[in-house]
């Protein structure tokens, strides 16, 4: 066990809750802003950091503690108010209740007075230590570390404090919060920091350089990669690549440019600047994406067949923020479907129908064994921590919509929804309303079947032809 309290508030130790207890997930706070400052010592494989974290109570009842997770080898040295006044806190390395191999530093900060519904609290944390990944848990892709060859700081390793409890089930039920951030990462002058945000400033100071990044739009994760990157740019598009992969980087930048131009023709222009970055990571570290960036494995820089991953992520630039909490994330189904349509358009292939049938057969094998798929409508996937299914069930929903209304009406639906709701966010009901207004086809039965009920089960179980997935809608 590891316990730490700021020296000036030892008298408050009784107010620190028992760290082994996990309160209900309804009491989690939501991050709304991070101001992060990190100094990386690549030679010693250490980091020192401060973060100003703003948290909001979106619950219906007051919250008395802020529960945070950090990487197991990162120690919190202090917690303070923005005024500099110290706060009591407790921390302990804890195994996850439902994943015993996974350990994190569980940090609890009492809130006095309790944080009322709708209110925010700001905490300043100072912390530091090592990051060595989580491969020992079986999550082999989380190889994040700090060293001179390649360093990575991301949410997967809890490299910065995140609201949560040592429980996968509790954390997944909260959904994915989105927030704004500003981050200053200081590294040796021989290295470059890559991130999907806007580079606000690059400050050189002798042997070190500080990169200041700011989020372009609300994000659900922060990823910072550090290496001896080379950089390619074309307008708002950037590729951070390792020196050995310059040829692949040029190809990837070209694919990004073509895809952005295609989606602009289909869905209309984006509002404001739309920076997007691809950041090369070592093979085996796991490709991932945020709203303005992709962490792309080195193998993709040598394999043109991996370009569909770019189509998927760039299409997210035309997503409006989801106003539902937790969101069902059907936009992932849209992006998955667009992979095939985009590939067919750019390369002249004909894969959209066959791909839909492969997904349908796969789901047909899952439905009999998964009671949640048989009972939970896709519109409720966020509430039931089932958003992993949104990629596949959602992709078939959008495939059916595409075939029912045709390419021209489909692209108008996506573009119109973005234009109406990009600024303020939209919901599943908002999307359905737009689709019904734009299309001359009556889509009521279709959305009832694919979004608001589980009647889509019968479709995939009985489908023998792509048209079986959307024609002769069953009521």
Residue with tokens 């990162």: 74
Cis peptide before 326 (omega within 30 of 0): yes
Helix (H, G, I), strand (E, B) or coil at 57: coil
Tokens of 440: 């001359």
Q: Give the whole-angstrom CA distance, residue 178 versus residue 219.
A: 5
- Sketch the domain layout of the chain as residue ranges: 319-469
Q: Tens place of pLDDT for every residue, the chain, 475 residues?
A: 334 433 333 334 434 554 544 454 458 999 999 999 999 999 999 999 999 999 999 999 999 999 999 999 999 999 999 999 999 999 999 999 999 999 999 999 999 999 999 999 999 999 999 999 999 999 999 999 999 999 999 999 999 999 999 998 888 877 778 899 999 999 999 999 999 999 999 999 999 999 999 999 888 899 999 999 999 999 989 999 999 999 999 999 999 999 999 999 999 999 877 788 999 999 999 888 888 899 999 988 988 888 888 899 899 989 988 888 788 999 999 999 999 999 999 988 888 999 999 999 999 999 999 999 999 999 999 888 899 999 999 999 999 999 999 999 999 999 999 999 988 889 999 999 999 999 999 999 999 999 999 999 999 999 999 999 998 644 4
Sign of CA dihedral 242, 243, 244, 246: positive
Classify residue 180 as exposed, middle or buried by CB count within 10 Å of its CB (0-12, 13-18, 19+). Answer: middle
Phi, psi (degrees; rounded to nearest 5) at 184? -115, 115
Contact between residue 120 and residue 52 where contact means Cβ atoms under 8 Å apart:
no
Tokens of 244: 């050995």
Q: Give the whole-angstrom CA distance, residue 111 versus residue 88.
A: 9
Element (H, E) at 436: helix 428-438
Contact between residue 55 and residue 65 where contact means Cβ atoms under 8 Å apart:
no
Q: Give the whole-angstrom CA distance, residue 105 versus residue 289.
A: 25
Helix (H, G, I), strand (E, B) or coil at 329: coil
Tokens of 69: 């997770």
Q: What is the dihedral of CA 399, 405, 408, 409, to 10 degrees?
A: -110
Q: What is the dihedral of CA 92, 18, 156, 25, to 10 degrees?
A: 180
Contact between residue 199 and residue 211 where contact means Cβ atoms under 8 Å apart:
yes
Count of CB atoms situated within 10 Å of the CB of 308: 16
DSSP state of 390: H
pLDDT given for residue 469 in this prediction: 94
Phi, psi (degrees; rounded to nearest 5) at 237? -100, 135
pLDDT given for residue 100 in this prediction: 93
In 3D, which of 188, 157, 180 has the Cα closest to residue 39? 188
pLDDT given for residue 121 in this prediction: 98
**With b meaning 16 or more CB within 10 Å and e meaning fewer, what string describes 451-475?**
bbebebbebbeebeebeebbeebee
Counting other chains too, the contacts that 389-393 makes at CB distance below 8 Å and 24 or more residues apart are: 390/328, 390/329, 390/330, 390/332, 390/333, 391/332, 391/333, 391/336, 392/333, 392/336, 392/359, 392/362, 392/363, 393/333, 393/363, 393/450, 393/456
Contacts of 436 (CB under 8 A, 6+ apart): 442, 443, 444
Q: Give the whole-angstrom CA distance, residue 284 versus residue 264.
A: 33
In degrees, rounded to 5, the angle at the alpha carbon of residue 381 between the alpha carbons of residues 321 and 62 is 70
Q: Give the whole-angstrom CA distance, residue 410 versus residue 228.
A: 43
Phi, psi (degrees; rounded to nearest 5) at 3? -130, 140
pLDDT given for residue 4 in this prediction: 40
CATH 1.10.390.10 fits 319-469, yes or no: yes
In 3D, which of 204, 206, 188, 208 has the Cα closest to residue 148? 188
Strand partners, 163: 68
Q: Give the whole-angstrom CA distance, residue 51 versus residue 37.
A: 6
């Amino acid at each position: 066990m590891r316990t730490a309290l700021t020296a000036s508030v030892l008298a408050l130790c009784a107010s620190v809750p028992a760290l082994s207890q996990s309160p209900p997930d309804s009491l989690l706070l939501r991050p709304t802003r991070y101001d992060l400052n990190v100094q990386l010592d690549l030679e010693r494989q250490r980091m020192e950091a401060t973060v100003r974290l703003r948290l909001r109570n979106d619950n219906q009842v007051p919250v008395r503690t802020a529960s945070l997770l950090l990487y197991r080898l990162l120690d919190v040295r202090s917690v303070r108010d923005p005024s500099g006044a110290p706060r009591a806190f407790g921390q302990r390395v804890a195994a996850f209740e439902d994943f015993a191999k996974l350990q994190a530093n569980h940090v609890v900060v009492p809130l006095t007075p309790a944080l009322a519904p709708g209110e925010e609290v700001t905490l300043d944390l100072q912390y530091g230590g090592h990051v060595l990944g989580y491969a020992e848990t079986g999550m082999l892709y989380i190889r994040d570390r700090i060293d001179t060859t390649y360093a990575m700081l991301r949410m997967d390793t809890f490299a910065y404090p995140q609201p949560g409890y040592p429980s996968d089930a509790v954390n997944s039920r909260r959904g994915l919060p989105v927030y704004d951030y500003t981050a200053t990462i200081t590294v040796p002058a021989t290295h470059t920091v890559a991130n999907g945000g806007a580079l606000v400033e690059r400050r050189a100071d002798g042997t070190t350089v500080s990169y200041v990044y700011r989020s372009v739009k609300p994000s659900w994760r922060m990823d910072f990669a550090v290496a001896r990157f080379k950089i390619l740019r074309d307008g708002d598009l950037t590729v951070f690549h390792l020196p050995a992969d310059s040829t692949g980087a040029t190809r990837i930048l070209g694919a990004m440019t073509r895809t952005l131009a295609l989606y602009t023709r289909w869905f209309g222009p984006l509002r404001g600047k739309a920076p997007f970055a691809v950041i090369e990571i070592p093979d085996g570290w796991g490709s991932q994406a945020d709203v303005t960036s992709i962490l792309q494995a080195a193998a993709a820089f040598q394999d043109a067949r991996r370009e569909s991953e770019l189509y998927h992520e760039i299409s997210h630039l035309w997503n409006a923020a989801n106003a539902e909490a937790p969101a069902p994330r059907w936009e992932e189904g849209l992006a998955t479907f667009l992979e095939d349509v985009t590939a067919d358009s750019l390369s002249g292939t004909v894969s959209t129908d066959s791909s839909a049938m492969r997904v349908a057969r796969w789901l047909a094998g899952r439905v009999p064994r998964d009671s949640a798929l048989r009972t939970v409508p896709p519109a409720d996937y966020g509430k039931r921590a089932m958003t992993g299914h949104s990629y596949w069930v959602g992709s078939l929903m959008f495939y059916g919509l595409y075939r029912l209304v045709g390419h021209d009406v489909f692209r108008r639906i996506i573009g119109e929804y973005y234009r109406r709701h990009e600024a303020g966010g939209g919901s599943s009901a908002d999307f359905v309303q737009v689709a019904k207004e734009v299309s001359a086809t009556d889509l009521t039965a279709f959305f009832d079947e694919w979004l608001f009920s589980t009647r889509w089960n019968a479709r995939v179980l009985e489908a023998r032809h792509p048209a079986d997935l959307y024609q002769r809608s069953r009521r």
